[in-house]
Structure 1
């Protein structure tokens, strides 16, 4: 495969991933709201899973194909991009209100999952057993979030309080809309699987042609490509004033990337951390700590904080290329 063909494969894969994630998010979010799940939890679970689905199919395919560094680099690079690029762009465009539940429940889970992954990779390999532990974590996290949301919705009904408008509208949707939403979910999944194949094949071919390590390709080209759905979703949510979905999608996506993406990928085949050492893991954790500090200060993000995150992300990319 020539370099031009590889780039075309990657470009076509990214287009399919973005379109598939958009369809999946639209359908799944509407279905979730119909069952009384609040917008914040939709962002933390449904939207986060939908926008992380490119990482999932790409990483599983890479792991099965013996390209472990692509799978691991994809997840770590996507997590760094979610905080530095995506939260940075969103905060720079419009200040985002920070929900207290995000700080007390979901941010600690994000940081904790990063530390757990780092510990598991201490011996240079993520085993299938360790992947199973991570995968169990995402099941518990999702169940916890959905049950908490449904309790809040039930309490609001019993207290005769108004439900969020998005929830009320979804519950009143006609049957044909529900069928359309289900079709969007399955159509989106099909595009994601096809797009992932193109993206991984193109990325591995580029690495072989240019003599660049698969880890670097995973940390940069593949990570940014699979993060495009998060970027598009978060910017749209921020522009429309849905800060809870914007931040929830970014934070939730990082949790899903580690527990629900690299976990199943390691179950499919053990993943070796060749080319991805502790400095990259430290960058991911450092970006998480910086973002957490900004979220805890003032109850909302500020534009200058967004620019700081973007600058940090640009510095990270420069460091990868320079090293």
Structure 2
């Protein structure tokens, strides 16, 4: 079986009958959808209770939850000697989050652009990616151009974790200075919200629940999304291999996509329920945390090899992954600049993002 990193034991999938895997796939789909419902309702309710913008809740609490599985998988991979997977997992998730998930969100509706948040957390998002890129290329040059000698040491990991703590503390401070978020637009936004199926009764239901109930709902939803999403990717990956799909295709599509499945499901559910701010915040926060949290904690566990010296293409991380990540982050910065007048990410903005993600997956397949 080909599962590069999973929270669930691989034996649960490769030892099961095909019909059972199909049943598991369907059950996991139901659970991941329901879990996302609970997570979004809980997060949106908490934001209203404490007077915090939903976009900041998405950039901190929700993002911490959806990136925790990636951190766990990366740390385990690093401990097991596959540190290249740990580093690639973080960068690959940023590419999927920014290109695929943000792109799909734009195609679904005109996403809100909170200027206060985008001029703060948005720059942290870009800065985190740029810092990682610089550190990786510097480590490569210091190693004398030997890919198997270039590593991110524990010192870099501690630096990233320290920056993570600072980011979370500053985010709390920013949320107090921006308690209610940007005023909602009317007109086009009303049509977009109506098209996503938002019901006013849902918002009223959130206000009726207590803080503890909302916290429990959000936590239960997070657990359901993480575990059922992991099971969904595992069962689909195993079925694809059994039905003759090349393993390289599974690795560069299903498995890579699976690490960002929680963000995707939560984002789509947030739009459907009328809380599109959560998607924007979750993408920004997840990109930041994939560098400072996922890669930072993994590097603290063991030095991370830049690229995989044992792979067929040891240079693919430096030549493809990091440049594609920075291209998407630069494109998003351009989008943020373009939202100054409208206060919205337009639908057309999703097209280049999704196209870039498809090109990225295609290049991995072609090069491999």
TM-score (norm 2): 0.69
**Equivalent in 282, 287, 294 of residue 335 of structure 2:** 294
Asked if 1 retains the 8 angstrom alpha-carbon contact of 2:63 and 2:286, the reply is yes
Structure with greater helix percent:
1
Cα offsets for 1:35-56 (capped at 9, x unmatched): 4322121121112222222212
1:102 aligns with 2:146: no
Asked if 2 retains the 8 angstrom alpha-carbon contact of 1:18 and 1:228, the reply is no
Could you tell me how far 1:62 is from its partner in structure 2?
A: 1.5
Q: Which moved more, 1:20-29 or 1:113-122?
A: 20-29
Distance of 1:319 and 1:68 partners within structure 2? 23
Q: Which residue of 1 aligns with 2:156?
A: 130
Q: Which residue of 2 aligns with 1:311?
A: 355
SS of residue matched to 1:284: helix
Instruction: Give unpaired runs (5+ residues) of structure 1.
Output: 155-164
Asked if 1 retains the 8 angstrom alpha-carbon contact of 2:158 and 2:296, the reply is yes
**Equivalent in 303, 314, 336 of residue 270 of structure 1:** 303
Q: Which residue of 1 aligns with 2:285?
A: 252
1:282 aligns with 2:315: no
Q: Which residue of 2 aligns with 1:80?
A: 95
Distance of 1:44 and 1:62 partners within structure 2? 26
Distance of 1:211 and 1:142 partners within structure 2? 41
Tell me which structure has the larger Cα radius of gyration. Answer: 2
Could you tell me how far 1:17 is from its partner in structure 2?
A: 7.8
SS of residue matched to 1:66: coil
Distance of 1:50 and 1:252 partners within structure 2? 11
Distance of 1:64 and 1:22 partners within structure 2? 34
How many corresponding residue pairs?
A: 308
**Residues 1:148 and 1:50: Cα distance change in structure 2 (over 3 Å):** same
Distance of 1:147 and 1:255 partners within structure 2? 17
SS of residue matched to 1:36: coil
TM-score (norm 1): 0.77
Q: How does 1:33-182 map to 2 (within 5 A)?
A: 33-121=48-136, 122-123=139-140, 124-153=150-179, 177-182=210-215
Asked if 2 retains the 8 angstrom alpha-carbon contact of 1:17 and 1:226, the reply is no
Q: Which residue of 1 aligns with 2:262?
A: 229
